[in-house]
C-alpha cells in the first residue's frame, strides 16, 4: 500500500520532480545512513540519532525502493535480516549530498563534524566523493550486490 503523497507529480520542473522523491524530513537521512554511515539494516536505522519512528522508516524504505534509489539483499547471516544499499541512481546523489554538507558547514554554526573531515570536504570535495564511492564499492563487492 502506497500513500497518496508517493504518487503525485506536481509539475515537470526538474527541481519539483526531484523533491517529489527526496524532498522531505527523512528520506535524505536514510540515504545518509547508507552513503556515509555504513548503516545498512532496519534495526540500525531505528537507532539513528534523529529517532525516526518505525512506521516512517518502513514507509521511506519502501518508497526509496519503489523509486529505484535503494535495493535490498537478504543478509548472509540470517534470513529475517535485510541489507539495504544504494542503487546507481541513489549513489549518484553523492554530489548533491556533498554540496549539502558544504553549505551546512559554511552557514550552520552548530554542526558536529571532525575538523579534518570538514577540511577535506571543503577543500577537496572530489577527493571526498572518490573515497566515499570506493567505500560503497567495497561494501558491494563484499556482499556481491550489483
Contact residues: DNA, CB under 7 A? 1, 3-5, 24-26, 41-43, 51-56, 58-59, 61-62, 72, 75, 77-82
For the bound state, the minimum distance from the C-beta of residue 17 to a copy of itself, rounded and expressed in Å, comes to: 5
How many beta carbons lie within 10 A of that of residue 21, not counting itself? 17
Q: Of the two residues 54 and 99, which places its CB atom closer to DNA in the complex?
A: 54
Under a CB-based contact definition with an 8 Å cutoff, are residues 145 and 88 in contact? no
Helix, coil or strand: residue 124 = coil
Contact 53, 95 (CB under 8 A): no
End-to-end CA distance of the chain: 27
Residue 1 interacting entry, from DNA, a copy of itself, none, C-beta within 5 to 8 Å by type: DNA
List interacting residues with a copy of itself (CB under 8 A): 9-21, 23-25, 28-29, 32, 49-51, 89, 92-93, 95-97, 99-108, 110-113
Amino acid at each position: 500500500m502506497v500513500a497518496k503523497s508517493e504518487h503525485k507529480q506536481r509539475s515537470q520542473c526538474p527541481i519539483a520532480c526531484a523533491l517529489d522523491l527526496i524532498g522531505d524530513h527523512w528520506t535524505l537521512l536514510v540515504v545518509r545512513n547508507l552513503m556515509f554511515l555504513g548503516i545498512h539494516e532496519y534495526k540500525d536505522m531505528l537507532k539513528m540519532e534523529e529517532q525516526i519512528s518505525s512506521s516512517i522508516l518502513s514507509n521511506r524504505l519502501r518508497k526509496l525502493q519503489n523509486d529505484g534509489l535503494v535495493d535490498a539483499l537478504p543478509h548472509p547471516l540470517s534470513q529475517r535480516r535485510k541489507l539495504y544499499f544504494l542503487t546507481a541512481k541513489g549513489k549518484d546523489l553523492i554530489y548533491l549530498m556533498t554540496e549539502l554538507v558544504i553549505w551546512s558547514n559554511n552557514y550552520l554554526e552548530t554542526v558536529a563534524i571532525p575538523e579534518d573531515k570538514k577540511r577535506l570536504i571543503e577543500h577537496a570535495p572530489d577527493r571526498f566523493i572518490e573515497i566515499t564511492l570506493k567505500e560503497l564499492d567495497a561494501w558491494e563487492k563484499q556482499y556481491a550486490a550489483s
